[in-house]
A and B are shown apart, each in its own frame.
Chain A
């Protein structure tokens, strides 16, 4: 069965610094997508970045980038130049024939 694991329940970063959030997954499917979603205190789920498994190139969206290691089934999120508005719960998600979310990492940004 597919699972998504986020081993860091909480992380903190100084403003303007870089932080990496970890995610691993388990699957027997060859074709799937991976996502990072952000959930601020408003509880709205906001898409941060997505990665197609068939693409070797790591996805990048402005200050957000991923390190996708397909063989290792690892999908980490790097946030550069952290801003106060980045403080939120971050969820890693797997989308193949089913949909699985990790338990989340709560990110605190320290001014």
Chain B
């Protein structure tokens, strides 16, 4: 089984400041890692994902995340945020192999990022 912990439920920042949204996971098997974003009154959209290879993953809208296997973390970062980045961000994992959990996403509780002018 997998579990995901997003350490901050809310993160307020000022425009053009850097931001880091923290995510830690627990799993008995190897996993793939994802960050999704949900803008107000919209559906979930994939920001980025780590499947294999380089541990630094770049996504859309200037976001990036780094997979740290030893710390079981996948923190999301952006060097300079915009008002339009205000949204809820979800970290998720899925097993990387077959079996009954194939492809199933386990989500964290979400982090609400609010960017102030």
Q: Do A and B come from one complex?
A: no
